[in-house]
Each structure stands twice: as structure tokens, then as C-alpha cells.
Amino acid sequence: MLLKTPFHPRTAPLCHSRRWRNWSGYASALTYEPGHEYEYYAVRSAAALFDVSPLRKYEVAGADAAALLDRVVTRSALDCPVGRVLYTPWCDEAGKMIDDGTVQRLSADAFRITSADPCLRWFQDCALGMDATVRDVTTDLAALALQGPTSREILAEVITGADIVALPYFALTEVKIGPAPVTITRTGYTGDLGYEIWMRPEDGVGVWDALTEAGCGYGLAPAGLDALDMVRIEAGLLLKDVDYVSTWTALIESRKSSPYEAGLGWAVQPRPGRDFVGGRALAREADAPSEWGFAGLEVDWPHIEARFAAVRLPPLVAGRASREPVPIYAGKTQVGYVTSSTFSPILKKYIALATIRREFARPGRRVKFELTVEFVRHTVPARVVRTPFFDPARKRE
Amino acid sequence: MARKYDAIVIGGGHNGLVHAAYLARAGLDVCVLEARPLVGGATVTEEIFPGFRYSVFSYVVSLMRPDIIRELDLPRHGLAILPLESTLTPLPDGDRLYRDADHHRTWREIARFSIRDAEAYDEYGRSLFYMARAVKYLLGIAPPDPARLGPRDIRGLLGLARHFLDLQPDQLHLLVKLMTMSAADFVDEWFETDVLKATLSASGIIGTFLGPRSPGTAYVLLHHYMGEIDGHFRAWGFAKGGTGAVANAIASAARQAGAEIRTDAPVARALVKNGRVNGVALANGDELHAKVVSSSLDPHRTFLDLVDADDLPADLVNSVRGYRFRGSSGKVNLALDAAPDFTCMPGHGPHLRGAVSISPSIDYLERAYDDARYGDFSREPYLDIVIPSAIDPGMAPPGKHVMSCFVQYAPYELREGTWDQKREAFGDTVVDTLARYVPNIRNIILHRQVVTPLDIERTTGLTQGNIFQGELTPSQLFFLRPAAGYAGYRTPVRGYYQCGSGTHPGGGIMGAPGKLAAGRVLADLGRRGR
């Protein structure tokens, strides 16, 4: 039986759709209402509350905590000031991605890491000989993501102990919501203004109630994974085992991806003298780039409509994100594949994340997207564009 | 020295702005002249009461052409259309009919009244899908004139024939019925439940001085069904920030393309010399010159106010004089201290994010029309209500709400007295009607704005306050809009064009007249649009 997160007493009665997905063994709502449309718009137009407790969480402590992080992740963790958060992938010795997540620097010698899947053994093994302990705190911490343009106003009504307006993008603060001590990070998986709230499980329901009560006047809606999948594609954010395969689960070499191949080259931050896992392989790759790259694609909507109209159908592209791999062509040659795609209601565009041969990954390149209409395959034009597709100024302001 | 432009657009409503954007994108030096301090015309959001933002006139969006949204990249200019997912029809006895995006729940809800109707509902939806698809073609073409038969007309008519012969016979028959029947008779062919029939046929009377049993209203019903959002017909939405945000997005796109937009710049008349337009004179006496002048105002203003009748053929002048405006609706905008509490669905809930239709029975609507026929506003009016703040929290302070009530009937011509005398009585009638379904309404009203047809005319310039720049009945559509022989966006005055809702394909926040007219202008100039 699927486990219940600390918020289950609140989310279960709200889940009118009775649609749950197994997320790391926990029941996680796909939608609360019968459809996800309203929840999607809540993220972009008001605020949405996601239960993200199933994320894996680790705490690293000790004199060498910073050194350990700096050794494990591709970003330069030593440069991360206290009170800041990093998004980063981490790799094996071959420079292929294991997982990705955020690293919060709680103090000079304490960090918190989130990941999609279990990594404790890896972190502990990497800590061999260092003065750093790594603990799995997955079940010790409940987590909510409060995302959307009104999220700041909602938080401002419920928190005490800090000025939420002053919290910069990718920073953290320790505050209270009612009696509950919580960590708030200005992070999220939506590409919008938003925060994630980390708390003790026993405080979960109280925090949920405080947020939903304050959120009532700000259009706050509980939202599920269907909506999240659309907004994270708009934000150009990768999903492990969908947009890239972990080196630990890839059965064959060709399925593995380096950060460069996954569009995360910016997160590889070598420093003179810095030795991090996968660093040497990544340095070699930087000199002799892989033939694979990452691209955001905008698929030409009038062509999609025309293909459907030719068989007298409205454009039946599912109203939710698709994780079906779709071939990408240049001429008649396959040059890559889409890993995630969605119609973006806010942009009025069909967008996709793709793994594609590097020479085609440059913005402006024109390729072809395979579209199946009435069981017949066609191709429609698509164009490589920069990600994020949707990048409101409020995200950083 | 008078400034000279390539083209001047009179009126900064959504069609004028769309028109200007397309002309500017084609490289023309364009100036839009708007009389009011803000753009939008009847597509405006105004903070009439501090902290509360009203979509003063038009209030929902559906017809806005997807090609215009895409070509002008309106999302990048701030346009976001949020879905209106449900329709609630409260009944006087405390019951209700509630339809939303959940197919099965809607089925069960209709089945409470009639299982046959619940089953027919899907078929009705499918039939209207076919109809909307058939008519969609017309929304993208300039109307050919079957009496004129120039090369363009013949091409257009052949295209039309091909398009309509492509329909299944039963679809073609249904389309003819839609063009000729009354909305009530049309829905009668499917349903037996009065409240369902009334709510569906209510779309057939909006903006029209006809009752649900009057022939011609079935087309108006279809006009409200052919809106298309993301490839789906029948989808209605609410523009984030109110309908003014639509106008602002288009204005932003037009400016980016190089158009100049002047507000507080009412135009007194178009300057015509030897049958050719060469500019406009502003109310302040300034003159601006251009070889192209496009009026997005209604046909009455375009042909009878802005130019001299002497410059126009008599048949056009006569047609425009006979063109039916007959404003039939008003608007009541409310600022509320709390959420409205419906007897039939108490408390908060998703129903507040949808439309609420006060249309309990066909007789109710017909009686409302009866009052209007003899020059009174309806004692118990049809109301089409949305609560924008429940969808977009930015429309009102936290926990408070704005409520938009479209009210019909409110005849422009009153039997007794004037609208200035009757404005508040009209507002009271609306609140009394609401109070039958929302008992707490009187206690939570912080501010009330009553918009009569006269107010619509005074503020926006729409003749007789008709929201569509003239009724959308079949005798005023397609090659007959606004007048037989003058439906191709040109006018008898060379260089003078019409680009408002008074031209094909008509009213609503659609933008199609503005775009199609821009196509005409650019073709006449030998330019290509982009």
C-alpha cells in the first residue's frame, strides 16, 4: 500500500479526482479537481500548493561538510554562502549524471540536499576519510512547495521571524509559521515566483492549514503532479528518468547523460585545484564535446492544427504533458528525440525538451517533430529556442 | 505643420488596435486615435472603486481569434486567458443546474432533471462542434458579394461552395436551421428540461433585442459557441487583469510594431476631398493626414457622423440608417466585501469561478423580453454573472470580490423617462433579482456601478449602446454587414475603410474584423502583411 505523507489528512479529502500517483512509494495527487487545468493556471496566475514530501532529503554536517559537497556535486559548493541554495546535478567518475537536486547551506558546516532517488550510500562513500556525517532525513522533514505570483503575499501573512519580501532567489531563511519552526527556500520546480517550505512532519497539518487559510484571498489552490509536469516543462526543468537517465539505472552506456549533454553545462564549475567526482571526465568533455546536446523546441502550432484539420479533427494533443519519447528529424535523418512535451496554455505554444545532436541544438535551428495523427505519422516543423520557455521577471525580482 | 502618416485608425478599441498592429507590422506608419484616456473601447478594465477592478463592459473572452493571438504574440505582451469552467443556473426553489468540465458530474446533474437530456447533451455538443467548425471558415475570410461577382467575389463564392458542400448533409441542414430558427426552438429539438433549454438559449439573446422564441436568435447562440481556445470550441475564458488586459496586450504589440497610439484624441471627422480621404480632423481642431483612414467605430458613426452624407451613395446612407443597433443590455458591476453565498450552492467552491446564469426558464427570459418590447427594462432580467476575483485574485483586495452582471433586457429607448432618471432603479432591480438567489448580496455590496445602454453609448460611442456594433441577426451578417454591397471593408470614399465589429464577422472580443480589414488595406496598397 502506498504510504501517506504528513499532509495526507488534508490532501486526501481534497483529492476529488481520486487520482494518485506513486511517487517514491507515497500517494501523491495527480490532480485534486477532476481536471488539472485550474491547478495549472493557479501556478501562473495566483498560487498553488504542492505536497513535495516524497523528495529524498539528506543532511550533511561536520567540519568537512562543505568540502564533501564540493567533492560530490558539479557546482562549486565551497562558494555557496550560508543561507543560499544551489541547484546542481551530481555525477559518477565518468561524468555521467546520477541525480540532481538542491543544496541548501544551513550554516558554515551544515547542508541539506534534496534528490529524486536514494543517494545516502553514495554521499557516505564519497565522505570516506572526511569529517562529515550524512543522514537520510527524508521522513524527518515534510515539504510543501508554494508557487505562483501571489505566493509571497501569502507567506508574508503567515510567517514570523523574517521579512519574506527580502528573501532573494535561491536563498533560505529560518522562520516560524504559527508555532512551527520551518525553513523557507526561494526555490521550486515551476519557473515562477515560489518557495519551498521544510518542516517537521508533526507540524505539517498546522502549516498546511495556515497557508490555505491565508491563501484563500489570494487564489491559492492545492495542485497535483499533472499541473506540475506542465509548468516544469515551461520552465525548462529536467525530470530524472524522463529527460535523462541516471547512470545507475541506465543499462547501456548510450542512455547515460553528462550535464553538458543535458543542457546543464552551466552547472559544471571547475576551479583551479578543485577535485570533484566526474571532474576529470567533464574537463575532457569540455575540450572535446559530446555529439549530443539538449534543446528546447517550439513546435509549429498552425502545422499541428493543419495536420489534424486535414482529417477533420480538432488538434487532439493531450491537454497534459507527455513523457512519450518522440523522434526529431532533420530532413529524413533522425537527429534526436523529444523527452517531454506539452501544449503551454499560457504561451499558446507546443513546447518540448529534446536530446538532440549537438550541431542541431543551436537556437534558431529548424528541425522536424514527429506527429501521429489518426494512427499515421507525419512530421511538423519545430524550431530550437532558448529555455526557459516561460521566464517571468517576478521569479527573480 | 500637420503630421502625416501612412494610415490613421479611428478608435482604439480592440479591433482598431488589431487593425493598427497588422498595418504597422507590414511597415506602415500608423497612428491610432482614441477619444478616451485609455485604450480598449468596450474592452477596458477600470478601477472605479479603490482596490476593485471592473471589466466595465465586456467581461469574458472566447472569440478572440487564435491566429491573431499567435501572430501578434499576445502572451508575450501580457495576455493570459484563464478558463471559465462551469455554468451554474440557480432556480427560485433553491435547486440548480450546474455544468462543469467533469463530464460525468454534468451528466448526473442533467439526469436529475431528465436522463434523456443528459444523453442528448453530448450529441448537442457534437452538433454544435460541427456547426462551429463550419462557420469558423467564415471567420477567416472577407465576405464575397453574391450580387457583384467581381473576380474576388467569384473566388470567394467558389471557396464557400467548396467549404459548405464538404459538410455532411445533416450538418448542412442543421446550419440552415441555425441561421433561421429561434434559439428556443433550436434547443427544443434536443431537450425537454426547461432550465437547461433556457440557459442554452440565453446565449442566443445576448446583445440582441429579441427574445429566445424570436427567429434569428439561434445564430446568436452559435456565435457564442464558436469561440475557440487552444483548439477547442465552446471554451470561455477570463482575461487575467480583466478584458482591458486584452486591449493592453494588443496595444503593446501594435506599439512594438511601430504604431503610435494617441489617447484623449477624439476625432471630429474624416477629411474627404474629391471622393478621397486624406486625413482626419480632431475635436480640438488639429488635422492629421494620411492616405488611409480606417474607422473602427460602428457603421452609424463611420458613415453618418465622420463623413458627409453627400460623399456617400444614397443606398448606403439609407442602409446604415436602417441598420439595427437597438441596445438591449446593461451591466451592473459590484464590489463585494465577501464572497456571494448562493442558496443553491452555499459557501465557497469552484462554482464561484464559473459563469452564473439567471435563466430559470424559457418563459422567464421571454417575459423579460416582453417588458423590453414595450420600452421598460425587465422587471426580472436575465443575468449573466462572473466573479472575476474568484479566478484572478488581482481584481479585488484579498477576501473581497468583484461581480460582473450582464443584464438583459435594458432597451435603449425607454417608454417613460430617461436612463439618467432610471439608472438606480435599474440597479435595484438587478440587486433584487440577485437577492433571490444570493441572500447575502445586499449585506456585502461595497460599491455598485450601473451601466445603462445610454452609459455604454456615452462612454464608448457604441450607438444605442449595442455591444456588437449592431445586432448579429442573419439580416446583418456576412455580405450584409453593415450593408449589402459595402461589406468588404472598403467604403465608397477611396482610402476610407471600416474595421470594427460592425463589419464581418461581427462583435465580441474577436479581432477578426480588424485583421481582415487590414488585409484589405494592405492588398489595396499592394503590400504584403506579415
B127/chain A closest Cα distance in angstroms: 14
Q: Where are the domains of chain B?
A: 4-45+61-82+241-324+470-524, 121-232, 326-460
pLDDT mean over A54-69: 98
Distances (CA, A) of B53 to A371, B34, B242, B292, B333: 43, 21, 8, 36, 10
Res. A174: pLDDT tops 70: yes
Give the Cα separation of A205 and A194 in Å (integer).
20
Q: Tell me which of A23 and A312 has the higher pLDDT.
A: A23
CB contact under 8 Å between A218 and B85, yes or no, is no
Distances (CA, A) of B86 to B341, B354, B393: 17, 4, 18
A259/chain B closest Cα distance in angstroms: 30
B296/chain A closest Cα distance in angstroms: 27
Res. A153: pLDDT tops 80: yes
Cβ contacts of B85 on chain A, cutoff 8 Å:
35, 37-38
A315/chain B closest Cα distance in angstroms: 6
Give the Cα separation of B14 and B63 in Å (integer).
12
Per the omega criterion (within 30 degrees of 0), is the bond before B360 cis?
Answer: no
pLDDT mean over B226-243: 84
ipTM: 0.92
B500, B506, B512, B516: CA torsion to nearest 10: -70
Centre a 10 Å sphere on the Cβ of residue A125 and count the other Cβ atoms it contains.
10
CB contact under 8 Å between A314 and B231, yes or no, is yes
pLDDT level of residue B135 (50, 70, 90 thresholds) = confident
- Cβ atoms A63, A109 nearer than 8 A: yes
Chain B: which residues have CB within 8 Å of chain A? 66-67, 69-70, 74-75, 80, 82-83, 85, 100-102, 105, 129, 133, 230-233, 240, 348, 350, 353, 390-393, 397-400
CB contact under 8 Å between A216 and B399, yes or no, is yes
Which residue does chain B place closest to A44, by CA atoms? B80
Classified as helix, coil or strand, B88 is strand
pLDDT of residue A99: 98
pLDDT of residue B163: 87
Pick from A218, A302, A315: CB nearest B398:
A218
CB contact under 8 Å between A218 and B393, yes or no, is yes
Q: Which of B64, B191, B31, B74 minimizes the C-alpha distance to B127?
A: B191
CB contact under 8 Å between B70 and A346, yes or no, is no
CB contact under 8 Å between A314 and B232, yes or no, is yes
Centre a 10 Å sphere on the Cβ of residue B465 and count the other Cβ atoms it contains.
30
pLDDT of residue B530: 60
CATH superfamily of A57-138+245-254+267-287: Aminomethyltransferase beta-barrel domains (3.30.70.1400)
Name the CATH topology of A8-53+141-234: Gyrase A; domain 2 (3.30.1360)
Which residue does chain B place closest to A216, by CA atoms? B399
pLDDT digits (tens, 9 = 90+) for A331-375: 999 999 999 999 999 999 999 999 999 999 999 999 999 999 999
Res. A319: pLDDT tops 80: no
CB contact under 8 Å between B391 and A219, yes or no, is yes
Interface size, chain A vs chain B, as Cβ–Cβ contacts under 8 Å: 67
Centre a 10 Å sphere on the Cβ of residue B86 and count the other Cβ atoms it contains.
20
CB contact under 8 Å between A35 and B101, yes or no, is yes
Res. B529: pLDDT tops 70: no
Cβ contacts of A216 on chain B, cutoff 8 Å:
348, 398-399
Give the Cα separation of A138 and A58 in Å (integer).
7
- Cβ atoms A110, A82 nearer than 8 A: no
CB contact under 8 Å between A45 and B82, yes or no, is yes
pLDDT level of residue A314 (50, 70, 90 thresholds) = confident
Res. B94: pLDDT tops 60: yes
B389/chain A closest Cα distance in angstroms: 8
CB contact under 8 Å between A346 and B75, yes or no, is yes
Cβ contacts of B231 on chain A, cutoff 8 Å:
305, 308, 314-315, 317
Which residue does chain A place closest to B338, by CA atoms? A217
CB contact under 8 Å between A315 and B397, yes or no, is no
Residue of A17, A41, A303, A383 best to disrupt the B interface, most CBs of B under 10 A: A41
Note the CATH number of domain A292-394. 2.40.30.110
Res. A85: pLDDT tops 80: yes
- Cβ atoms B294, B461 nearer than 8 A: no
CB contact under 8 Å between B393 and A314, yes or no, is no
pLDDT digits (tens, 9 = 90+) for A212-244: 999 999 999 999 999 999 999 999 999 999 999
A218/chain B closest Cα distance in angstroms: 5
Classified as helix, coil or strand, B35 is coil
CB contact under 8 Å between B70 and A348, yes or no, is yes
Per the omega criterion (within 30 degrees of 0), is the bond before B66 cis?
Answer: no
Specify the pTM.
0.94
CB contact under 8 Å between A45 and B392, yes or no, is yes
Q: Where are the domains of chain A?
A: 8-53+141-234, 57-138+245-254+267-287, 292-394
pLDDT of residue B55: 96
- Cβ atoms B224, B234 nearer than 8 A: no
Res. A35: pLDDT tops 80: yes
- Cβ atoms A143, A55 nearer than 8 A: yes
CB contact under 8 Å between A34 and B102, yes or no, is yes
B114/chain A closest Cα distance in angstroms: 23
pLDDT of residue B2: 64
Question: Quick one: angle between helices B194-202 and B115-139, nearest 10?
Answer: 10
CB contact under 8 Å between B83 and A33, yes or no, is no
Residue of B77, B82, B108, B337 best to disrupt the A interface, most CBs of A under 10 A: B82
Q: CATH classification of B4-45+61-82+241-324+470-524 is 3.50.50.60, yes or no?
A: yes
A345/chain B closest Cα distance in angstroms: 7
pLDDT of residue B234: 67
pLDDT of residue B90: 98
Which residue does chain B place closest to A40, by CA atoms? B82
pLDDT mean over B184-199: 97
Q: Tell me which of A199 and B135 has the higher pLDDT.
A: A199
Pairing mode of beta strands B228-229, B232-233: antiparallel
Pick from A33, A319, A348: CB nearest B75:
A348
pLDDT of residue B429: 98
Q: Any residues with CB less than 8 A from the CB of B41 and at least 6 apart, and which?
A: B11, B12, B13, B14, B15, B16, B34, B247, B296, B460, B461, B462
pLDDT of residue A51: 98
Residue of A32, A300, A348 best to disrupt the B interface, most CBs of B under 10 A: A348
B297/chain A closest Cα distance in angstroms: 30
